[in-house]
Amino acid sequence: MSKYWRFDACPIRFLAAESQFTNFVPTSAMTPHVAIIDWRTAPQGDADSAIEKRIIGPAANVTRHLCDTDSDLDDEITSANAIIVWHNMPLTAHGIAKLTNCRAIIRNGVGFDSVDAAAARELGIAVCNVPDYGTEEVADHAIALAMALCRQLFPLDAEAKALGWNIKVADKLRRIRQQTFGIVGLGRIGTATALRAKALGFNVIFHDPYLPNGVDKALGVSRVRTLDDLLVQADVLSLHCPLIDETRHLISERELALLRPGSFVVNTARGAIIKKSAILSSLRTGHLAGAGLDVIEDEPLRTSHEAATPNLIATCHAAFCSVQSKIEMRTTSARIALAAVTGAKLENVVNGVA
């Protein structure tokens, strides 16, 4: 019997035949099921799952579940034909092994490091993401953090509200036109950030070993071939790469030391790309003039000591967030879930499962 019997085992001739019975009522056992897993600590969806239900319609039952970890998965979730999972709710190999009918796990967002994609692949379960939503928001957020650091908006605001007017941070204020903006990772968001930084007058350079030659010419920015070359030139370092084994702690003590004294770091990608202890230490010693971190390793900030780190702006993993982006994200993930339960082609598969 097919693993996906709930939606694969009903041939067209059967569906045509059932229309002859005016009192026919489908049983719940024959209706596919989409489970939405939201993070109990900070739910992002709505209790009614209104967007998902509108997109999926009568093709499947849609249920919503609040979980902290995949140890909270119950029988209703593990029997679902497709799962939509919000960020910060991890799906490990242990949890994925419990899934009995699942065709696709859809990660509600760009990053999918919270899902064990390899374990899903071993079981023939596709892992999908939503890579294009929020591109504008994250790029805008990265630029906003960079501008707040270069123009020292938060310290100036604090001084003004303390009834001071001495501009104590004058030595940290920067002329944008003479600053080099270094980008690591020139994908969708990195490109959008590069174009915004260029428009503001930054000298934009980037490092991305996976792009073909000529991208720099198309965008009118400069390419450097190694990360070290980028670090020694950058006044602002902005990270836009995925979190994979290769990029975990890509920026650690050594890399931060290569940055010019008084430079700034912005991270709107994934927290663990930067080693947390290393960047907090660099801020405390004053080697870095500031950091704007929308994401941070082992988020959220864990102690008052971490939160008191000088010259740190932290923004709660909110760069993706706007009313419009959340609607776009949920619409796309629901569309992929609908494809999963109807046997259609899946979008945005990241683990190679057809």
Task: Report, as residue numbers or ranges, the catalytic residues.
Answer: 270, 299, 317
Distance separating alpha carbons of residues 8 and 3, to the nearest angstrom: 9
Which letter does DSSP use for residue 352 in this model? -
Amino acid identity, residue 248? R
Helices first, then strands: H and E counts in the chain: 15, 12
Paired tokens of 262: 């008084």
Q: What are phi and psi of 237, to 5 degrees?
A: -105, 125
Paired tokens of 23: 């009192």
Which letter does DSSP use for residue 256 in this model? H
List all residues 6 or more positions away from 20 whose beta carbon is below 8 Å from its beta carbon. none
CA angle, residues 93, 95, 96, in degrees to nearest 5: 65
Which letter does DSSP use for residue 14 in this model? H
Distance separating alpha carbons of residues 232 and 261, to the nearest angstrom: 10
Task: Report the residue count for the chain.
Answer: 354
